[in-house]
Structure 1
């Protein structure tokens, strides 16, 4: 069946306005580990069990078009940074992936401790 993504408009009512089903968001066999959005874009950390790979997809919130996609090891959480850049946590390999606003992997740092979540403040 695969993951389905629902978009809601909160104020003034919680009305479902869009529904994205596979293969629009990702393949039926894939899992969405994390999802984050701002006014213009939607980021999804997607795991493909057939290839055993995880990627960060960035899509337009207007038309859901994929803007870019980048491999992020075994990442499972993401965070929007200043300048519309992204950080992805790969706790299993103790890595943080820093991704540019254009989808280029800028840095992959390894840490002694497992980073499980990430936020910017």
Structure 2
């Protein structure tokens, strides 16, 4: 899926845009809530790696933050990891990046805390 761009906004679901040719983009797939996330959740960050999408999501009901790993083709949940972060609406964005061996690094902006998440979500 190196020719695919995943997009989301605060008010829209995940869009997968397939780039068949370098000069044009076309909408390939659109996932609506609740497939991408629940009604009361929003996606703070989205990262693709090796056939998976890592989603950093915040629940507006309780300010809880979760790391959700999903299949990039179907958005089926592979596993979920509740983060020890309570995010307020004005807080800096929480970022995620992929590491070797399908591991992940999550950076919490306000406190500069780092979370190393292993392949199995631990």
Unaligned stretches of 5+ residues in structure 1 = 105-121
The aligned residue for residue 99 of structure 1 is 117
The aligned residue for residue 17 of structure 2 is 8
Higher strand share: 2
Unaligned stretches of 5+ residues in structure 2 = 1-9, 86-92
Matched, 1:90 2:108: yes
The aligned residue for residue 54 of structure 1 is 65
* CA distance in structure 1 between the aligned counterparts of 2:65 and 2:59, rounded to whole angstroms: 6
SS at match of 1:83: helix
The aligned residue for residue 19 of structure 1 is 30
Q: Is the 8 A contact 2:49 2:102 kept in 1?
A: no
RMSD: 1.7
Aligned length: 104
SS at match of 1:54: strand
Post-superposition CA distance 1:70-105 (Å, at most 9, x none): 02233711000011100001122331000011111x
Q: Is the 8 A contact 1:47 1:53 kept in 2?
A: yes
* CA distance in structure 2 between the aligned counterparts of 1:30 and 1:82, rounded to whole angstroms: 29
